Amino acid sequence: MKRIEQAPSNTEWRRWGTDDPFYGVATWAGRDRGGANPWTAEDFYALGTSDWADFRSRWVGFGVEFGLVVDIGCGAGRLTKAMAADFRQVIGVDVSEGMLDVARSNITESNVDLRLGDGISVPVETSTVDGAFSAHVFQHFDSIGLARANFSEVARILKPGGTMMIHLPVVVPPEGLPGVLPALAAKQKLGDVRAKLRRRRGTPFMRGLQYPWQWLIRELPALGLTDIELVVFAARSNGGYHPCVLARRS
Protein backbone atom coordinates (compact mmCIF):
# COMPACT_ATOMS: atom_id res chain seq x y z
CA MET A 1 0.00 0.00 0.00
CA LYS A 2 1.31 3.44 -0.97
CA ARG A 3 1.94 5.55 2.11
CA ILE A 4 1.12 9.22 2.52
CA GLU A 5 4.29 11.15 3.36
CA GLN A 6 2.80 13.17 6.21
CA ALA A 7 -0.51 13.13 8.05
CA PRO A 8 -2.09 16.60 7.57
CA SER A 9 -2.99 16.88 11.26
CA ASN A 10 0.68 16.56 12.29
CA THR A 11 1.00 20.35 12.06
CA GLU A 12 -1.66 20.91 14.71
CA TRP A 13 -0.23 18.36 17.14
CA ARG A 14 3.24 19.82 16.82
CA ARG A 15 1.74 23.18 17.76
CA TRP A 16 -0.09 21.67 20.74
CA GLY A 17 3.25 20.23 21.81
CA THR A 18 4.70 23.73 22.14
CA ASP A 19 1.60 25.82 22.97
CA ASP A 20 -0.10 23.71 25.68
CA PRO A 21 0.94 20.02 25.80
CA PHE A 22 -1.17 18.95 28.79
CA TYR A 23 -4.34 20.66 27.57
CA GLY A 24 -3.78 19.37 24.02
CA VAL A 25 -3.98 15.85 25.46
CA ALA A 26 -6.66 16.38 28.13
CA THR A 27 -8.93 19.12 26.81
CA TRP A 28 -11.00 19.79 29.89
CA ALA A 29 -12.80 23.10 30.42
CA GLY A 30 -10.72 25.62 32.35
CA ARG A 31 -7.59 23.48 32.38
CA ASP A 32 -5.68 25.25 29.62
CA ARG A 33 -2.66 27.37 30.50
CA GLY A 34 -4.77 30.52 30.72
CA GLY A 35 -7.71 28.84 32.40
CA ALA A 36 -9.07 28.93 35.91
CA ASN A 37 -7.41 25.65 36.89
CA PRO A 38 -4.56 24.80 34.47
CA TRP A 39 -3.12 21.31 34.48
CA THR A 40 -0.15 20.65 36.73
CA ALA A 41 2.14 17.72 35.98
CA GLU A 42 0.94 16.03 39.17
CA ASP A 43 -2.74 16.32 38.20
CA PHE A 44 -2.11 15.36 34.59
CA TYR A 45 -0.30 12.11 35.35
CA ALA A 46 -2.70 11.25 38.18
CA LEU A 47 -5.46 11.48 35.57
CA GLY A 48 -3.48 9.05 33.44
CA THR A 49 -3.23 6.59 36.31
CA SER A 50 -6.99 6.71 36.86
CA ASP A 51 -7.90 6.40 33.18
CA TRP A 52 -5.40 3.61 32.55
CA ALA A 53 -7.04 1.55 35.32
CA ASP A 54 -10.33 1.81 33.39
CA PHE A 55 -8.78 0.83 30.07
CA ARG A 56 -6.70 -1.91 31.69
CA SER A 57 -9.62 -3.75 33.25
CA ARG A 58 -11.36 -4.11 29.86
CA TRP A 59 -8.19 -5.13 28.04
CA VAL A 60 -7.38 -7.74 30.68
CA GLY A 61 -10.78 -9.29 30.07
CA PHE A 62 -9.91 -9.59 26.39
CA GLY A 63 -6.60 -11.31 27.12
CA VAL A 64 -3.78 -8.77 26.87
CA GLU A 65 -0.25 -10.04 27.56
CA PHE A 66 1.86 -7.65 29.64
CA GLY A 67 5.01 -7.90 27.55
CA LEU A 68 5.91 -5.25 24.97
CA VAL A 69 3.23 -2.64 24.21
CA VAL A 70 3.12 0.36 21.86
CA ASP A 71 1.17 3.48 22.84
CA ILE A 72 0.31 5.11 19.48
CA GLY A 73 -0.09 8.88 19.81
CA CYS A 74 1.26 8.90 23.35
CA GLY A 75 1.42 12.70 23.52
CA ALA A 76 2.94 13.89 26.80
CA GLY A 77 2.75 10.35 28.17
CA ARG A 78 -0.40 10.71 30.27
CA LEU A 79 -1.23 6.99 29.95
CA THR A 80 2.26 5.82 28.94
CA LYS A 81 3.64 6.52 32.40
CA ALA A 82 0.88 4.51 34.08
CA MET A 83 1.21 1.63 31.61
CA ALA A 84 4.86 1.21 32.57
CA ALA A 85 3.77 -0.29 35.91
CA ASP A 86 2.14 -3.22 34.09
CA PHE A 87 4.11 -3.92 30.92
CA ARG A 88 7.64 -5.22 30.59
CA GLN A 89 8.36 -2.45 28.08
CA VAL A 90 6.32 0.48 26.75
CA ILE A 91 7.13 2.20 23.46
CA GLY A 92 5.41 5.58 23.17
CA VAL A 93 5.13 7.05 19.68
CA ASP A 94 4.04 10.58 18.81
CA VAL A 95 4.38 13.08 15.93
CA SER A 96 5.17 16.02 18.24
CA GLU A 97 8.71 16.41 19.50
CA GLY A 98 7.38 18.97 21.98
CA MET A 99 4.97 16.43 23.45
CA LEU A 100 7.77 13.87 23.69
CA ASP A 101 10.06 16.37 25.41
CA VAL A 102 7.41 16.93 28.10
CA ALA A 103 6.99 13.17 28.46
CA ARG A 104 10.75 12.69 28.82
CA SER A 105 10.82 15.33 31.56
CA ASN A 106 8.14 13.58 33.58
CA ILE A 107 8.56 9.86 32.92
CA THR A 108 11.48 8.37 34.83
CA GLU A 109 10.50 4.72 34.40
CA SER A 110 13.38 2.85 32.76
CA ASN A 111 11.11 0.57 30.74
CA VAL A 112 9.65 3.43 28.65
CA ASP A 113 11.05 4.18 25.20
CA LEU A 114 9.73 7.33 23.48
CA ARG A 115 9.97 7.60 19.68
CA LEU A 116 9.08 10.22 17.09
CA GLY A 117 6.63 9.04 14.41
CA ASP A 118 5.10 10.50 11.26
CA GLY A 119 1.43 9.87 12.06
CA ILE A 120 1.19 6.93 9.66
CA SER A 121 4.00 4.39 10.00
CA VAL A 122 4.89 3.09 13.46
CA PRO A 123 8.66 2.93 14.14
CA VAL A 124 8.54 -0.62 15.50
CA GLU A 125 9.67 -3.90 13.93
CA THR A 126 7.15 -6.29 12.38
CA SER A 127 5.50 -8.95 14.56
CA THR A 128 7.28 -7.92 17.75
CA VAL A 129 4.70 -6.48 20.14
CA ASP A 130 2.18 -8.10 22.46
CA GLY A 131 -0.16 -5.13 22.56
CA ALA A 132 -1.02 -2.02 20.55
CA PHE A 133 -2.88 0.74 22.37
CA SER A 134 -4.20 4.17 21.49
CA ALA A 135 -6.55 6.61 23.22
CA HIS A 136 -7.92 9.96 22.03
CA VAL A 137 -5.92 9.76 18.80
CA PHE A 138 -7.83 7.99 16.02
CA GLN A 139 -10.70 10.46 16.48
CA HIS A 140 -8.42 13.27 15.28
CA PHE A 141 -7.29 11.79 11.96
CA ASP A 142 -8.22 13.69 8.82
CA SER A 143 -9.71 10.72 7.00
CA ILE A 144 -10.79 7.11 7.17
CA GLY A 145 -8.01 6.33 4.68
CA LEU A 146 -5.41 7.60 7.13
CA ALA A 147 -7.05 5.56 9.87
CA ARG A 148 -6.83 2.44 7.73
CA ALA A 149 -3.11 3.03 7.22
CA ASN A 150 -2.67 3.20 10.99
CA PHE A 151 -4.73 0.05 11.55
CA SER A 152 -2.54 -1.65 8.96
CA GLU A 153 0.51 -0.68 11.00
CA VAL A 154 -1.13 -2.05 14.14
CA ALA A 155 -1.65 -5.39 12.40
CA ARG A 156 1.93 -5.35 11.12
CA ILE A 157 3.65 -4.81 14.46
CA LEU A 158 1.51 -7.22 16.51
CA LYS A 159 2.76 -10.74 17.12
CA PRO A 160 0.37 -13.53 16.12
CA GLY A 161 -2.07 -13.66 19.02
CA GLY A 162 -1.18 -10.12 20.10
CA THR A 163 -4.06 -7.80 20.90
CA MET A 164 -5.00 -4.19 20.30
CA MET A 165 -7.18 -1.73 22.19
CA ILE A 166 -8.01 1.40 20.21
CA HIS A 167 -10.26 4.14 21.57
CA LEU A 168 -12.27 5.90 18.85
CA PRO A 169 -15.81 7.21 18.23
CA VAL A 170 -17.95 4.43 16.75
CA VAL A 171 -21.31 4.86 15.06
CA VAL A 172 -23.61 1.83 15.02
CA PRO A 173 -26.62 2.74 12.83
CA PRO A 174 -29.85 0.85 13.52
CA GLU A 175 -30.52 -1.87 10.95
CA GLY A 176 -32.40 -0.55 7.96
CA LEU A 177 -32.08 3.13 8.91
CA PRO A 178 -31.25 5.01 5.70
CA GLY A 179 -29.05 8.06 5.39
CA VAL A 180 -26.68 7.58 8.34
CA LEU A 181 -23.54 6.79 6.36
CA PRO A 182 -24.13 9.55 3.75
CA ALA A 183 -24.66 11.97 6.64
CA LEU A 184 -21.30 10.98 8.13
CA ALA A 185 -19.65 11.48 4.74
CA ALA A 186 -21.19 14.94 4.43
CA LYS A 187 -20.01 15.82 7.94
CA GLN A 188 -16.50 14.73 6.98
CA LYS A 189 -16.49 16.97 3.90
CA LEU A 190 -17.62 19.93 5.98
CA GLY A 191 -14.83 19.17 8.44
CA ASP A 192 -12.33 19.16 5.57
CA VAL A 193 -13.38 22.67 4.57
CA ARG A 194 -13.14 23.94 8.14
CA ALA A 195 -9.72 22.34 8.56
CA LYS A 196 -8.35 24.08 5.45
CA LEU A 197 -9.53 27.45 6.74
CA ARG A 198 -8.10 26.89 10.21
CA ARG A 199 -4.76 25.69 8.84
CA ARG A 200 -4.44 28.90 6.87
CA ARG A 201 -4.76 30.80 10.15
CA GLY A 202 -2.07 28.63 11.73
CA THR A 203 -3.87 28.05 15.02
CA PRO A 204 -3.99 24.56 16.58
CA PHE A 205 -7.34 22.77 16.55
CA MET A 206 -8.67 19.20 16.63
CA ARG A 207 -10.40 17.22 13.91
CA GLY A 208 -13.31 14.96 14.77
CA LEU A 209 -13.64 11.67 12.88
CA GLN A 210 -16.33 9.03 13.49
CA TYR A 211 -16.11 5.38 12.47
CA PRO A 212 -19.06 3.38 11.12
CA TRP A 213 -19.13 -0.04 12.78
CA GLN A 214 -19.78 -1.60 9.37
CA TRP A 215 -16.47 -0.17 8.14
CA LEU A 216 -14.55 -1.55 11.10
CA ILE A 217 -15.90 -5.09 10.84
CA ARG A 218 -15.15 -5.08 7.12
CA GLU A 219 -11.68 -3.54 7.11
CA LEU A 220 -10.07 -4.99 10.24
CA PRO A 221 -10.45 -8.66 9.23
CA ALA A 222 -8.96 -7.79 5.84
CA LEU A 223 -5.82 -6.68 7.71
CA GLY A 224 -5.58 -9.98 9.62
CA LEU A 225 -7.32 -8.84 12.81
CA THR A 226 -9.88 -11.19 14.36
CA ASP A 227 -12.12 -11.54 17.44
CA ILE A 228 -13.27 -7.95 17.00
CA GLU A 229 -15.20 -6.51 19.94
CA LEU A 230 -16.63 -3.13 20.84
CA VAL A 231 -16.64 -2.10 24.50
CA VAL A 232 -18.02 1.15 25.88
CA PHE A 233 -17.39 2.34 29.42
CA ALA A 234 -17.51 5.55 31.45
CA ALA A 235 -14.16 6.78 32.76
CA ARG A 236 -14.20 7.35 36.50
CA SER A 237 -12.25 10.59 36.10
CA ASN A 238 -14.99 12.59 34.36
CA GLY A 239 -17.80 10.18 33.51
CA GLY A 240 -17.09 10.48 29.79
CA TYR A 241 -17.99 7.42 27.73
CA HIS A 242 -15.11 5.73 25.90
CA PRO A 243 -15.88 3.35 23.00
CA CYS A 244 -12.94 1.05 22.27
CA VAL A 245 -12.35 -1.59 19.61
CA LEU A 246 -10.42 -4.68 20.65
CA ALA A 247 -9.02 -7.25 18.23
CA ARG A 248 -6.44 -10.01 17.99
CA ARG A 249 -3.76 -10.63 15.35
CA SER A 250 -4.40 -13.92 13.60
| CATH value at residue 108 | 3.40.50.150
Task: Work out the average pLDDT over 172-192.
Answer: 64
Task: Work out the average pLDDT over 27-34.
Answer: 95
Number of domains making up the chain: 1
Answer whether residue 82 is part of any domain: yes
Task: Work out the average pLDDT over 203-219.
Answer: 83
Answer whether residue 88 is part of any domain: yes
Answer whether residue 209 is part of any domain: yes
- The pLDDT value recorded for residue 217 is 95
Q: Is the pLDDT of residue 24 over 90?
A: yes
Answer whether residue 1 is part of any domain: no
Answer whether residue 143 is part of any domain: yes
Task: Work out the average pLDDT over 101-118.
Answer: 97
* Residue 183: pLDDT band with limits 50, 70, 90: low
Q: Is the pLDDT of residue 6 over 80?
A: no
Task: Work out the average pLDDT over 231-240.
Answer: 96
| Rounded-to-integer distance, Cα 232 and Cα 235, Å | 10
**Residues 9, 141 contacting (CB under 8 angstroms):** yes
Answer whether residue 3 is part of any domain: no
- The pLDDT value recorded for residue 36 is 97
Q: Is the pLDDT of residue 4 over 60?
A: no
Which range of residues forms the domain containing residue 73?
10-249
**Residues 129, 71 contacting (CB under 8 angstroms):** no
| Rounded-to-integer distance, Cα 54 and Cα 235, Å | 6
What percentage of the chain carries pLDDT values higher than 70? 84
Q: Is the pLDDT of residue 179 over 80?
A: no
Pairing of strands 170-171, 211-212: parallel
Q: What average pLDDT is seen over the chain? A: 90
Distances (CA, A) of 156 to 196, 222, 250: 32, 12, 11
| Rounded-to-integer distance, Cα 246 and Cα 134, Å | 11
Going by C-alpha positions, the residue among 82, 86, 77, 70 that lies closest to residue 129 is 70
Supply the Cα-derived Rg of the chain in whole angstroms: 17
**Residues 109, 79 contacting (CB under 8 angstroms):** no
Has this prediction a pTM greater than 0.95?
Answer: no
Pairing of strands 129-134, 89-94: unpaired
Q: Is the pLDDT of residue 184 over 80?
A: no
- Segments of the chain assigned E as strands: 68-72, 89-94, 112-116, 129-134, 158-167, 170-171, 211-212, 225-234, 241-249
* Residue 175: pLDDT band with limits 50, 70, 90: low
Q: Is the pLDDT of residue 82 over 50?
A: yes
Answer whether residue 2 is part of any domain: no
- The pLDDT value recorded for residue 142 is 86
Answer whether residue 154 is part of any domain: yes
Q: Is the pLDDT of residue 197 over 70?
A: no
- Segments of 151-194 assigned E as strands: 158-167, 170-171
- The pLDDT value recorded for residue 147 is 93
Task: Work out the average pLDDT over 129-157.
Answer: 95
* Residue 7: pLDDT band with limits 50, 70, 90: confident
Task: Work out the average pLDDT over 203-218.
Answer: 82
